[in-house]
Amino acid sequence: MATKRTLTQADVELLKETFATKYDLNRALENQELKFEAKITEIKSDFLNKIDPILQEVVKSRDERTLQSDHLSNHGDRIEALEKIHPHSRHLTAI
């Protein structure tokens, strides 16, 4: 039959020390994780602040290209229409 063993004060102190150390270690790891996440957020924010003006320029450029393309298309249509009524730079009645 197994005998009961009671904890001594030294056992209690050892348990307190062991669990306190693990608790402190977990807190330290959590603090490091929070610092790391904050640093990553800061870096990401800095990057986005720096890239934002560049991206705005790209969007403006794309919009301008679209407008220019529409204008060129309209000019092309007008030139074709004028060439139909003025072949070889002459009026049809002059031929």
The pTM of this model reads: 0.47
Domain count, the chain: 1
In a domain, residue 19? The reply is: no
- Tell me which DSSP letter residue 86 carries: S
- pLDDT, one tens digit per residue, over 33-64 is 999 999 999 999 999 999 999 999 999 999 89
Q: What residue numbers bound the domain in which 74 lies?
A: 28-94
pLDDT above 90 coverage of the chain, percent: 39
Residue 47 lies in a domain: yes
For every residue of 2-28, DSSP letters joined together read: PPP-PPPHHHHHHHHHHHHHHHHHHHH
Residue 89 lies in a domain: yes
Domain assignment of residue 5, yes or no: no
